[in-house]
């Protein structure tokens, strides 16, 4: 534990940090109450532009224009158009991301598609052993359906686990439980050196830190949009297919929306070109256009500035926790080193479930992961340093 500081000192430091925050003005673009919302790594806050936009979609585009909106309101091209808005946030050029379906469905498309891209003699899929459970379930099903062996390994074990048998590797960029950031560039390079395909889950990194999909040669990636991208509950996920692989990407879920002639109603399937290959059926327009409105808050925001503030917020939270919380009451599971940290802090606490209930009752909203983890997500677009200091102070009061 660091030398203990009183509330006044850290409160003053919070004001200074907020005064120099170049992203502080973004907070006004969200609908927030008087509490401290530190659960944006589960569900992002509501951008103010969304309700009015959704009302227009419902009343005018659907209500007045009806089916004409597929053309006149741009519904048909929304999956690729919105994908191009997400692309800069994950370091991708336009034309490589399509929005639609859930993260789970897109993991399935990506993993089976990855297996189909490599030599059929490769019979093993590696999956992150610490992954969010659904990714593991999907990977097990994909392996079974393709006749492959599934081998769970930790990200640190991947380089040694790779072999001529490896067809694809599914990894999480940030560990959902601890907030650990894994080394996407070096792990992708190791997968490629072994002749396999790298598939990354970006759910806990997109919108919080630079990803660099194109720069680091990632093959396939998926991600949700309801966390740091603030797309709303159940907002559609996205699928990234590197441009050089698109003409060979063979989706296991071909649908009329990904057909080269979707209105030809042909009996045989011919895949569309480009990112459209990742589509399946009719897109969920209401959720998709709510997401499009939510992404407007990213106009003019460099991801590098978001990352810098994210690290500053989590550094300051850890400092405040060390100063305020009784020694030995919590243990941080989140790495101290910036290159290993995402945008959340996970604290182990023996009565974590009860503690989080009390925090929420006092307006400090984080979440609890069994059996003993308090999880706090720091969304740089709307979380400030005074919020951080207040959260740590209330946590300390509840733990005394």
With residue 59 as reference, give the H or E element that holds it. none
Choosing from 109, 122, 227, 277, which is the catalytic residue?
227
Point out the catalytic residue in the list 201, 219, 284, 387: 201
The closest of 388, 341, 342, 349 to 368, measured between CA atoms, is 349
Render the burial of 202-219: b for 16+ CB within 10 Å, e for the rest. Answer: bbbbbbbbbbbbbebebb
Is 226 among the residues known to form the active site? yes
* Element spanning 315, H or E: helix 303-324
Residue given tokens 């990352």 in the structure block: 307
CA–CA distance, 261 with 179 (Å, rounded to integer): 43
Evaluate whether 366 touches 375 at the Cβ level (below 8 Å): yes
Does residue 201 have an active-site annotation?
A: yes
Instruction: Determine what percent of the chain falls in helix, strand and coil, rounding each to the nearest 5.
Output: 45, 15, 40
Is position 151 annotated as part of the catalytic site?
Answer: no
Nearest to 379 by CA among 237, 205, 192, 232: 205
Q: Which of 132, 228, 324, 376 is catalytic?
A: 132
Task: Assess whether the previous peptide bond of 328 is cis (omega < 30° from 0).
Answer: no
Catalytic residue among 279, 375, 390, 393: 375
Q: Give 140: exposed, middle or buried? Use CB within 10 Å, 0-12, 13-18, 19+.
A: middle
| Among 37, 108, 176, 226, the one annotated catalytic | 226
Is 375 catalytic? The answer is yes
Residue for token digits 């009996």? 267
Distance CA 45, CA 233 (A): 10
Q: Are 96 and 240 in contact (CB under 8 A)?
A: yes
Report the phi/psi class of residue 357: left, alpha or beta, with left for phi > 0 and alpha for psi in -120 to 50.
alpha
User: Which DSSP helix (H) or strand (E) runs through 52?
Assistant: helix 49-56
Looking at the annotation, which residues are catalytic? Answer: 132, 201, 226-227, 375
């Amino acid at each position: 534990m660091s030398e203990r500081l009183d509330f006044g000192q850290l409160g003053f430091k919070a004001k200074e940090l907020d005064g120099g925050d170049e992203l502080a003005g973004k907070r006004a673009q969200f609908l927030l109450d008087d509490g401290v919302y530190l659960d944006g790594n589960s569900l992002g806050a509501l951008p103010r532009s969304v309700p009015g936009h959704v009302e227009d979609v419902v009343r005018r585009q659907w209500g007045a224009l009806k089916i004409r909106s597929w053309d006149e309101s741009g519904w048909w091209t929304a999956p690729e158009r919105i994908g191009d808005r997400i692309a800069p946030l994950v370091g991708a050029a336009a034309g490589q991301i399509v929005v639609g379906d859930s993260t789970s469905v897109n993991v399935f498309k990506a993993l089976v598609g990855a297996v189909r891209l490599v030599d059929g003699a490769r019979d093993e899929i590696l999956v992150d052993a610490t992954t969010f459970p659904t990714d593991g379930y999907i990977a097990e099903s994909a392996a079974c359906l393709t006749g492959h062996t599934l081998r769970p390994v930790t990200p640190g074990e991947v380089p040694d686990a790779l072999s001529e048998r490896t067809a694809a590797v599914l990894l999480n960029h940030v560990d959902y439980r601890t907030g650990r950031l894994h080394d996407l560039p070096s792990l992708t390079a190791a997968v490629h050196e072994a002749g396999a395909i790298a598939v990354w889950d970006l759910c806990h990194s997109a919108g919080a830190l630079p990803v660099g999909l194109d720069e680091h040669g990632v093959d396939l990636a998926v991600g949700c949009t309801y966390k740091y991208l603030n797309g709303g509950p159940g907002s559609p996920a996205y699928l990234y297919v590197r441009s050089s692989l698109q003409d060979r990407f063979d989706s296991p879920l071909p649908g009329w929306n990904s057909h080269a002639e979707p209105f030809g109603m042909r009996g045989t399937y011919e895949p569309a070109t480009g990112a459209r290959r990742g589509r399946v059926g009719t897109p969920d327009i209401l959720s998709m256009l709510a997401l499009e409105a939510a992404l407007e808050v990213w106009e003019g925001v460099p991801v590098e500035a978001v990352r810098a503030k994210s690290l500053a917020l989590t550094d300051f939270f850890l400092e405040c926790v060390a100063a305020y919380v009784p020694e030995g009451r919590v243990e941080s599971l989140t790495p101290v080193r910036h290159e290993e940290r995402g945008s959340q802090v996970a604290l182990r606490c023996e009565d974590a479930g009860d503690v989080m209930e009390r925090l929420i009752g006092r307006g400090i909203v984080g979440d609890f992961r069994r059996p003993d983890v308090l999880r706090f997500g720091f969304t740089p677009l709307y979380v400030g340093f005074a919020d951080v200091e207040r959260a740590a102070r209330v946590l300390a009061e509840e733990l005394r």
